[in-house]
Amino acid sequence: MKKKISLRVIKRISFYYEALLKLNLSDDLYISSIKLEEITGVSSNQIRQDFFYLGISIGKQKKGYQIKRLFNELKKVLPIDRRVDVIIIGAGRLGCCLSEYKLFEVRHINVVALFDVKEELISKAEERGSHCAPIHHIDKLDGFLSEHPNIKIALLTLPENSAQEMLNKLVKLGIKGIVNFAPKILKIPEYAEDVQIVNDCIGASLYKVIYQIYNKA
Amino acid sequence: MKKKISLRVIKRISFYYEALLKLNLSDDLYISSIKLEEITGVSSNQIRQDFFYLGISIGKQKKGYQIKRLFNELKKVLPIDRRVDVIIIGAGRLGCCLSEYKLFEVRHINVVALFDVKEELISKAEERGSHCAPIHHIDKLDGFLSEHPNIKIALLTLPENSAQEMLNKLVKLGIKGIVNFAPKILKIPEYAEDVQIVNDCIGASLYKVIYQIYNKA
DNA sequence: TAGATTGTTAATCGATTAACAATC
DNA sequence: TAGATTGTTAATCGATTAACAATC
């Protein structure tokens, strides 16, 4: 087990990666932390601090970092060009949206299937293009995971009242990582401490903006 | 201008609010911080710390907080039952998904319109149900905002290369709050320091989970 | 009363920013 | 050389956790 890395650092690494992707990877191109700040918005101090923390020390004074090498170093940290198969539990609007999310494609995240309790969503699945991931009934989850033992990650796009229950079930079925999009902090049962969870409610951040604007004066 | 509140606190407040919404608001019902921990996942210590920070001290020893009063106190902090009109820039999948996002409805966030450069998205708009927000061409943004001076907030669901440019334009048009969903940290120009921004890239958190799982051993 | 729960302070933990010697 | 940029340490800032007296 390597060093633990916080969510914040992971996010920034993915931003660095995204930025480098758009640059030329020819051998003699360098980028300084200041230039990388301009592209990613992360301060140059923060960038160098991150690299230091991650053990990336390939910079040259007066030049910066060779783009190609930096790119490779970041890939060592984040397995970002490795294809990762995931499933989505909850085939509502958000679930379907995420199943076709562009950024997921770029990052090689592959949504294999969605699951839901609602029959109407499953029958509606045919309307979706053939390029889309299929929607199955939640009862088929158990069998599906047995047939696809490589799937270790599930995204939860369920209402908050059923989210924790589903998480417990997923853990029992052997899922090792979960991203929860409900406005509630889900916890991993004690008997499964190796399972990873991140709670990431979309739109909660909008309230920060609303608060600042409508609470003035 | 009231006290500044961090994004984290804002998120937790909205979780408390969400939890209370589902409870009975009759006069003699109380909830303790421990019980609230069970529902929201936020630790009771954290909850009391938040309330202290926010100046909410309505608890009774041995009983906890009167649900109805607590609800009202939270509403004082977060203008959560006030309708807020917003626009979305970028009518791709994510933009359209957010324009119909359930949690936004619950929280009285009203997407008035979407804007995009792509003609095909605008013509496609008619296919969307009449309950959906209309999609306009980005050229109409200026006029639209003049006609709707109450709109102070924009959600940005654009690719990262055009996001900063659009932000600058929005600021010039008088927008006061922006949530950016591109994988890039956008900055507010110095001449407009009163404008609020939150960067909230969906799916970046997935990488935390992927990292933890695929970097073991 | 005894037990439970608050409000509040202090301690800890973690993340960001600032600074600067080293050096290309 | 002089200037720019790194790697790294130290200082600051902020957020969470722990602890506990007060008291219902």
pLDDT at residue B31, as a whole number: 97
Same domain, B105 and B199: yes
Q: Indicate the pLDDT class of residue A130, thresholds 50, 70 and 90.
A: low
Same domain, B23 and B99: no
pLDDT at residue B126, as a whole number: 67
Same domain, A100 and A144: yes
List beta partners, residue B154.
B87, B178
Whole-angstrom Cα Rg for chain B: 20
Domain annotation covers residue A38: yes
pLDDT at residue A126, as a whole number: 67
Query: For residues B13 and B117, what is the distance between their CA atoms, to the nearest angstrom?
Result: 36
Q: Residue A16: pLDDT above 90?
A: yes
Domain annotation covers residue A73: yes
To the nearest whole number, what is the mean pLDDT of chain A?
92
Same domain, B70 and B136: no
pTM: 0.93
**Of the residues A77, A107, A133, the one at which a domain ends:** A77
Q: What is the DSSP string of B191-216?
A: GGTT-EEEE--TTHHHHHHHHHHHT-
Into how many domains does chain A fold?
2
pLDDT at residue B50, as a whole number: 98
| 8 Å CB contact of B205 and A152 | no
Domain annotation covers residue B167: yes
Same domain, B94 and B189: yes
User: Which element (helix H / strand E) includes B113?
Assistant: strand B109-116
Q: Indicate the pLDDT class of residue A94, thresholds 50, 70 and 90.
A: very high
Domain annotation covers residue A58: yes
Ordered alpha helix ranges (H), chain A: 7-21, 33-40, 44-54, 67-77, 93-99, 102-106, 119-124, 141-147, 160-172, 204-214
pLDDT at residue A60, as a whole number: 96
A115: Cβ under 7 Å from strand D? no
Task: Residue B69: give its domain's CATH number.
Answer: 1.10.10.10
Same domain, A91 and A112: yes
pLDDT at residue B148, as a whole number: 98
Query: For residues B152 and A213, what is the distance between their CA atoms, to the nearest angstrom?
Result: 8
- Of the CA atoms within 13 Å of residue B197, those in its CB half-sphere come to 23
Nearest to A204 among B11, B84, B210 (CB): B11
Q: Kindly report, residue by residue over A146-177, the tens digit of the pLDDT.
A: 999 999 999 999 998 999 999 999 999 999 99
Query: For residues B62 and B31, what is the distance between their CA atoms, to the nearest angstrom?
Result: 10
pLDDT at residue B217, as a whole number: 45
pLDDT at residue A27, as a whole number: 72
Domain annotation covers residue B216: no
Task: Residue B131: give its domain's CATH number.
Answer: 3.40.50.720
Same domain, B51 and B134: no
Record the tokens describing residue A198, joined without a space.
């991140």
Residue type, B49: Q
**Of the residues A77, A105, A121, the one at which a domain ends:** A77
Q: Which of residues 195-214 of B touch A (CB under 8 A)?
A: 196-214
10-residue stretch averages of pLDDT, chain B, 217 residues long: 83 95 83 96 98 96 96 92 95 93 93 95 74 92 98 96 96 97 93 93 92 78
Q: Residue A2: pLDDT above 80?
A: no
Chain B interface includes A183 (CB < 8 A):
yes
| Residue B29, C-beta contacts closer than 8 angstroms, at least 6 positions apart | B23, B66, B67, B68
Same domain, A92 and A155: yes
Same domain, A96 and A59: no
Domain annotation covers residue B214: no
Name the residue with higher pLDDT: A142 or B131: A142
CA–C1' nearest nucleotide, residue A34: D5
Q: What is the DSSP string of A77-139?
A: HS-TTS-EEEEEE--SHHHHHHHT-HHHHHTTEEEEEEEES-HHHHHHGGGS-TTSPPEEEGG
- Residue A86: phi and psi, rounded to 5, are -135, 160
Angle at A130 between CA A103 and CA A98, to 5 degrees: 30
Domain annotation covers residue B217: no
Q: Mind telling me how many Å the CA of B159 is from chain A's nearest CA?
A: 9
Domain annotation covers residue B150: yes
CB atoms within 10 A of CB B131: 6
Same domain, A192 and A88: yes
CA–C1' nearest nucleotide, residue B9: D15
For A23, the domain range is 7-77
**Of the residues A20, A51, A77, the one at which a domain ends:** A77
CB atoms within 10 A of CB B39: 20
Q: Indicate the pLDDT class of residue A217, thresholds 50, 70 and 90.
A: very low
